[in-house]
Amino acid sequence: MLAKNNLPTKINFKVIETDEVNAFANADKEICVYTGMLKFVQNDAELAGVIAHEIGHIVNNHVAKQNVLGTITATAIYNANMDSRLKAGANAANNLTMLKMSRTEEYEADVTGVDLMTKAGCNPLAMVSVLYKISGNYADFTSTHPSGDKRTMYIYDYITYTYPAKAKLGYTSDSYKKFMAYAGPIVKERNADPKKLASFKKKQAKLKEKRIAKLEKYKTAKQSNGWDKSLNVIKFLSE
């Protein structure tokens, strides 16, 4: 997937022995996949969907950005001259801000992952299938992940507009069938309403243009981005 997308960043992969169904990307540009996730996915295409999503976090500099902002905010909070109640309030506000931003980043990583999967010759609908199975475990407001219905609908809409040929292929899994039972009526209603359909196409056209431009910018950029450099400076100053 990395080679077929001509990504400049060297990414390492690590398998962690645990039954938890999860995967994540860290600041060292490692993608860690739990053995629970390896058992959970139905096939290689669904595993590719999970990995593509995590690569999306790296491509969009989410991990480095979160580390920088988290370090700056934590330093400001704990060095401030405030009593314990004010510190608690500042912490709560910071946590909600970071979670809200993280939910946005999940969407961004999802659609970037779709682009990467498609370029690599994978069926991006596999991402819809696997995330629909697991994302229902996350609360919509307090979690860093969007709800299952909203998240997978966002991905599916992006696929149907940007890669219509892939969308027509369909995907065979119980979770995808359940998702389509939810999404089908929504799509049918939207297609029957000229205003809703026009609004949908306009929104997707902007998203497609933005995603393509950002991915190309990343491919031509050096591996060390601004967020990486900022994090290195903060680490040096805090030693």
The model's pLDDT over 71-122, given as tens digits with 9 standing for 90+, comes to 444 444 455 555 555 555 555 544 544 444 477 888 999 999 999 999 999 9
Segment 4-16 shows an average pLDDT of: 86
Selecting among 17, 20, 46, 54, the annotated active-site residue is 54
Residue 220 CB partners (closer than 8 Å, separation 6+): none
- Residue 202 tokens read as 């306009």
| C-alpha distance from residue 89 to each of 75, 96, 216 (Å) | 15, 11, 41
More confident residue, 131 or 79: 131
Average pLDDT for residues 34-53, to the nearest whole number? Answer: 94
* 105: annotated active-site residue: no
Question: CB atoms < 10 A from the CB of 37, how many?
Answer: 23
Tell me the average pLDDT across 132-151: 63
Band of residue 227 on the pLDDT scale cut at 50, 70, 90 = very low
Least confident stretch, 32-41, 114-123, 127-136, 155-164: 127-136
Q: Give the per-residue pLDDT at 164.
A: 96
Cβ neighbours for 210, distance < 8 A, ≥ 6 positions apart: none
Burial status of residue 198 (CB atoms within 10 A of its CB: 0-12, 13-18, 19 or more): exposed
